[in-house]
Chains A and B, each alone.
With several copies, the nearest count.
Chain A
Amino acid sequence: TYQIAVIPKGTTHEFWKSIHAGAHKARMELATQGIMVNVIWKGPLKEDDREQQVQVVENFIGRRVDGMVLAPLDRRALVGPVETAARGKIPVVIIDSGLATDKIASFVSTDNREGGRIAGRNLGKLLGGKGNVVMLRLQVGSASTEEREEGFLEVMKKDFPGIRLLSTDQHGGATRDTAKRVSENLLSRFGREVNGIFTCNESTTAGMLLALRDAGLAGKVKLVGFDSGETLNAGLKSGDIAGLVVQNPLNMGYLGVKTVVAVIRGEKVPAQIDTGVGFVTKENFNDPAMADIVNPPLAKYLK
């Protein structure tokens, strides 16, 4: 049996539940091929604390797991333990968010920059190429969201000169609570002039959605978010969210585990694996192609 540790950035977002499900999907599939895998799921104690995630990785090194699948909280802070693991011949597959080292087995993720670009293109189109836009960032150091933010800004600046960026430098923080407070204060300041908003992950999107609703701006301001989840899907259906850039977290967890097992078994794997992104709106929400992404069959894999 291979002991595979899967380490998310946190455990409370729905996004991570899908990854967890994907990891188990891989486990089940491998079992049918006679490869036994034990998935150990463990997030950091404090969700936005780099040091805590470092400790989790280290403890898995101590436990001598056979391989790790890691979504690093920070592109640099996790370099130390990951390189230590590499020196200890424990392969680490990075998922979701980049890490500034080449000592990794593979990088399985959404093309985040492209995701940001998709968000930008769609928001630009929704606004007809003019208006005022606010972008809410997540937190400092998170590689995946920073790439989305950059991709979004790139498109905005290049393709939509008629759009004015009101605020792009506020961070929503790691929880829905902090994101909501920051959103409220932003809307209090810019609520009268803003036409479109981009938020870069689940918690910032949820926080902004709540703030928009409380401010009576839901539906009037075009909100393009990132990721899906119960709250966000409901917002999409009710028209409060104009569109969501969705990743395929289930696939990410699935490919993460598959890849690391392949590495352990001495197979060659690509250095980078793209899990794909899409854009959902109210219209295409019920397309069968989207079903697996916006409504992942979590129950099927998580017991």
Chain B
Amino acid sequence: MKEISRVMLAKGGPFIGLILVIVLFSIPAETREFFLTYNNFKIIFTQTVIVAIGALGMTMIIVSGGIDLSVGSSIALTSVAGAQLIQRGWAPIPVLLAMVAVGALIGLLNGTAIAGLRMTPFIITLGTLGVARGSAKWMADNQTVNYDSSPINGWMTTADPFGHALPAGVWVALGLAVLTAILLRKTVFGRHVFALGSNEATARLCGIATTRLKVAIYTLAGAFFGLAGLFQLSRLRQGDPTVAVGLELDIIASVIIGGASLSGGVGTILGSMIGALIMAVLRNGSQQMGWPTYFQEIIIGLVIIVAVFLDRLRQGRQA
């Protein structure tokens, strides 16, 4: 019972938020028939994939008490790298692995600088944000990287837009979400991530190798960001060095709306996924309603503040 009420408190907020948002858009009869359809949700899920996969990595980082501002740039860089490999005739699976590796490499650099030089994650990743973005444009020679065709192009779309099949990307995101949730909940690694974010000194005294752990977290998260880059590539069918500018803020917002705390030690994968979905539903729904784009921006901004305010109330209760 207590377990359940604890889960409700921790995840109920975002979940109720999601339901609320969906109900909101289902009320007007004129949009309901479009909005509340399997097909529309198929589109929403597909649009959530990139933010969701990014949020998997970001959840780990934020739970461990860190932050990563370089996600958008990492996605751009890996998508360019991937496009160039496809140009050279690489097969999909090697391209996938290479892109994940590139993302992990950026994460490794971030993690090493943060843990090794003991510098604040905010500033290191602000630097990486510029370096990775610039490198992406450099590699792409300041242009989009186009290739003839690749099976990767089909991973974010389905043959029949009104059929029932979901694109591969959605399944991958779902599968990874489950795996990451298990990783965080059920393994020693995950337990240590929470301990690190909750109380770094205690983690060290209890024998956790905090430096190595941080490097591992940023590297693993980087791998996720590389994968997000792959799906970005698949969506645009080109490597675009200017893509995903500011996406880090969307991703961070998803994680925060999902109940994680920027001071570390708190956060769930399920919450972050719901956070990402809330934002995608808000975007899709307000378009279906014919609301202007600025409405979405205002609402998402307010949702962030309110979500965190509720979070603070919750924490206040605990203390």
Contact = CB atoms under 8 A, between A and B. Distances in A.
Interface string A194-236: 0000000000000000100111110000000000001100000
A141 interface: yes
B241 interface: yes
A180 B235 contact: yes
A185 B284 contact: yes
Interface string A177-201: 1001110111011000000000000
B297 A12 contact: no
A56 interface: yes
Given A77-B237, A84-B161, A175 B242 contact: yes
Contact of B161 (A79, A85, A182): A85
B144 A55 contact: no
A205 to B, nearest CB: 14
A11 B238 contact: no
Interface string B16-49: 0000000000000001001101011011101100
Interface stretch (B58-66, B90-98, B192-200, B243-251): B243-251
Contact of B243 (A62, A167, A175, A216): A175
B287 A186 contact: yes
10 contacts: A43-B142, A56-B287, A62-B284, A64-B34, A74-B144, A80-B236, A167-B290, A175-B243, A177-B244, A210-B235
Interface in A118-150: 139-141
Contacts of A59: 43, 47, 283-284, 287-288
Interface string A54-80: 111011111110000000001011011
Contact of A48 (B232, B237, B242, B287): B242
| Residue with the greatest number of chain B CB neighbours at <10 A, chosen from A14, A79, A169, A214 | A214
Contacts of A61: 43, 161
A88 B159 CA distance: 9
Given A43-B293, A61-B43, A175-B242, A51 B235 contact: yes
Contacts of B245: 46, 49
Contacts of A49: 242-243, 245
A68 B242 CA distance: 25
Contacts of B44: 62
A170 interface: yes
Contacts of A184: 43, 46-47
A50 B142 contact: no
B238 A47 contact: no
A44 B283 CA distance: 11
A113 interface: no
A46 B287 CA distance: 14
Interface of A: 10-14, 17, 40, 42-51, 54-56, 58-64, 74, 76-77, 79-80, 84-85, 87-88, 139-141, 167, 169-171, 175-177, 180-182, 184-186, 188-189, 210, 213-217, 230-231
A170 B142 contact: no
Contacts of A140: 142-144, 242
B143 A17 contact: yes
Given A62-B284, A180-B235, A188-B39, A12 B241 contact: yes
The contact size tier of chain B is 35 or more
B3 interface: no
Interface of B: 31, 34-35, 37, 39-40, 42-44, 46-47, 50, 140, 142-144, 146, 153, 156-162, 232, 235-238, 240-246, 283-284, 287-288, 290, 293, 296-297
A228 to B, nearest CB: 13
B161 A87 contact: yes
A12 B43 contact: no
Nearest to A100: B146
A60 B40 CA distance: 9
Given A56-B287, A176-B238, 11 more contacts: A12-B142, A12-B241, A40-B290, A48-B242, A167-B290, A175-B240, A184-B47, A185-B283, A185-B287, A214-B158, A231-B237
A66 to B, nearest CB: 12
Contact of B43 (A13, A17, A50, A185): A185
A185 B31 CA distance: 12
B161 A217 contact: yes
B237 A84 contact: no
A108 B131 CA distance: 37
A230 B238 CA distance: 11
A76 B144 contact: yes
B296 A76 contact: no
Nearest to B241: A12
Given A54-B235, A62-B43, A88-B162, A182 B240 contact: no
Contacts of A44: 293
A278 B46 CA distance: 37
A167 B289 CA distance: 12
A216 B162 contact: yes
Contact of A177 (B40, B160, B235, B297): B235
A74 B40 CA distance: 24
A170 B146 contact: no
A76 B244 CA distance: 17
Contacts of A62: 34, 37, 39-40, 42-44, 284, 288
